[in-house]
Structure 1
C-alpha cells in the first residue's frame, strides 16, 4: 500500500465515479481502476459496491476513507509545517468567498505586504465552501452565512446593517425607513438561491407571511447596484458598500426589521496546520475589516 494508491482511493471515494476521478487526477481511467483493484486485493475486502458502471462507497470503504483522510491530511500538514520551518518559500494562501468584491482591498494590501506568497481565490456558494474546507482545497472561507461542521472554527470579521437600495428617482427615495410589508409589491433584484442576500430576503418576507417579487436574479452580487440604478428594481445591500457607491444614483433606506444584518466570518478547519502565510492573512483580514467598520457611522465595534 503506497501513498499514490491512497490518494487515488480518496478521489474515487469522494467522486464515486472512476472516469471523473481519473479526470481530476489527470491520469488514464484504466490506471485508476487497476490501482483500486490492487488496493482492495491487498486489504482483502471490497471498498465499493458495483452496479454496472456505477460504484458506491460501501461500509468498508467508508471506514477506510475516514482513516485515509486522516493520514493524508496529517502528511499534508507536515509538509507545510516543515516548509515553514525550513523557510523554503513564502508559502501560499487559498480563500473562497460568495463574492470576491469585498476582498479586493484586503487582497491588494496582502499582496503588497507579502509579495512572495501565492494567493488563490474561488467564488463559491456556502455548500461548495463546506466541500472545499473538508477537502482542504482552501485555507479560509469568507462567509456571510453560518458554515458549521466538525473541526470548523470562525473569526468574526464584520457585523453590519443591510440596507434597501432604490433608484434615486424612486417614489421611496425620500424616506429614511420602511417596513417589509410596504415592499410586498416591489420587484427585487437579488442573487440566486444559496447566496446570503437571497436567504435574507426570503427570511424577511417569511416574517410577514409573503414571498418577495423577484424581477432579476443572478450569481454576482456585485451587479445588484448597477441593476437597481438602472431602474429594474430594488435590492438589499450591505452598508459597507455605501461609501464606495457615493456617485451611483441610489437612495438608501433602513428596514424596520431587527435581523436585517449581515455577519461576515472567516472560517477555517481548526484541526489543520495554520501556515505562516495563512496566519498572516488571517491577522490582516481581521485588521482590514475592523478598520473599514470603524469608518462607518453605525459601526458597532
Structure 2
C-alpha cells in the first residue's frame, strides 16, 4: 500500500466513476483500475461494488475512505507546515464563500493589513464547502446557512435582515411590507439549490404550505439583483446589498417581507483539528475581532421607493 494508491482510491470514491477519476488524475483509465485493484488485493476486500461499467463505494470502501481522508489530510498539513517554515511570508489562507461579494471587502481589508499573506478565494455552494473543508482544500468557509459536524468549529460573524427586491414600476413597489401569500404567484429570481437564497425562499414558502414560482436560477447570488432590476422577477436580497453601492448601480425597490426569521446569518467555519498557517490564524482573528459588516460601506441614509410610493 502506498500514497499513490490512497490518492487514486480517494478520487475514484469521490466520483464513483473510473473515467472521470482518471481525467481528474491525468492518468490512463486501465492504469487507474489496476492501481485500485492492487489496493483491494492488499486489503483482502473489495472496496467497490461493480455492475458492468458502473461502480459504487460499498460499506468496506466507506469505512476505509474515512481513514484515508484523515491520513492524507494530515500529510497535506505536514507539507504545508514545512513550506510555511521555509517561506518568509505568512503562508496561505484559503476561504470558500457562497458569494464573492460578501467576502471581498473583508479579504481586501485583510490583504491591506497583511500584504505578505497568500490569499485564495473559492466560490462554493454549501455541499461543496463541506467537501472542501473535509478535504482541507480551504481553511475557512463563510456560510450563509448552517454547516454542521463534529469536525467543525463555527462562529457567527453577522446577522442581517433579508429584504424583497422588486423592479421599479412593479405592483408592490409602493408597499412597505408584504406577506408570503401576497407574493405566492410572483416569479422569483433566485439561486439553484445549495445556496442560501434558495434555501431561505423555500423555507419561508413551506411555512405557509406553498412553493415558490422560480423564473430564473443561477450560481451567483450577487447576480440576482441585476436580473430583478431587468424585470425578470422579484427576489430575496440581503440588506448588505444596500450598503455596497449596488443600490445605485442596479436600481431596485426594497420591500420588507413580513415573515418570521427572514434573515441571513453569516458564519465562519473551520476544521477544529486542521493545521492553520500564520496567515489563516491572522485572518480568523481579523474577521472575528470587529463587526463583520464594518468591512462594508456605511448604510445609506435614504430609502429607495418607487416614484410616488409610500
C-alpha distance in 2, partners of 1:265/1:113?
Answer: 22
Quote the offset at 1:56 in angstroms: 3.0
Q: Which residue of 2 aligns with 1:15?
A: 15
Specify the SS of the correspondent of 1:164: strand
Q: TM-score with structure 1 length normalisation?
A: 0.87
**Conserved 8 A contact 2:105-2:295:** no
**Conserved 8 A contact 1:83-1:89:** no
C-alpha distance in 1, partners of 2:58/2:234?
Answer: 50
Which structure 2 segments of 5+ residues have no match?
Answer: 302-310
Aligned-residue Cα RMSD (Å) equals: 2.6
1:147 lines up with 2:132 in the alignment: no
C-alpha distance in 1, partners of 2:139/2:45?
Answer: 35
C-alpha distance in 1, partners of 2:38/2:94?
Answer: 34
Quote the offset at 1:89 in angstroms: 4.4
1:245 lines up with 2:260 in the alignment: no
**Conserved 8 A contact 1:126-1:143:** yes
Change (3 A) 1:280 1:237: same
**Conserved 8 A contact 2:177-2:256:** yes
Change (3 A) 1:241 1:6: same
C-alpha distance in 1, partners of 2:83/2:298?
Answer: 39
Specify the SS of the correspondent of 2:280: helix
Quote the offset at 1:241 in angstroms: 0.7
C-alpha distance in 1, partners of 2:46/2:201?
Answer: 48
Quote the offset at 1:86 in angstroms: 4.4
**Conserved 8 A contact 2:241-2:247:** no
1:262 lines up with 2:264 in the alignment: yes
C-alpha distance in 2, partners of 1:107/1:73?
Answer: 25
The number of residue pairs the alignment matches comes to 298
| Aligned counterpart in structure 1 of residue 292 of structure 2, from 289, 293, 297 | 289
Change (3 A) 1:51 1:177: closer
**Conserved 8 A contact 1:189-1:216:** yes
C-alpha distance in 1, partners of 2:276/2:198?
Answer: 33
Q: Is 196-205 or 62-71 further displaced after alignment?
A: 62-71
| Aligned counterpart in structure 1 of residue 274 of structure 2, from 259, 272, 275 | 272
Quote the offset at 1:238 in angstroms: 0.5
Quote the offset at 1:225 in angstroms: 1.7
Equivalent residue runs for 1:1-301 within 5 Å: 1-87=1-87, 89-243=89-243, 244-247=245-248, 248-286=250-288, 287=290, 289-292=292-295, 295-296=298-299
C-alpha distance in 2, partners of 1:214/1:43?
Answer: 49
**Conserved 8 A contact 1:141-1:267:** yes
**Conserved 8 A contact 2:242-2:299:** no
Q: Is 234-243 or 23-32 further displaced after alignment?
A: 23-32
**Conserved 8 A contact 1:133-1:268:** yes
Which structure 1 segments of 5+ residues have no match?
Answer: none
C-alpha distance in 2, partners of 1:107/1:51?
Answer: 47
Quote the offset at 1:144 in angstroms: 0.9
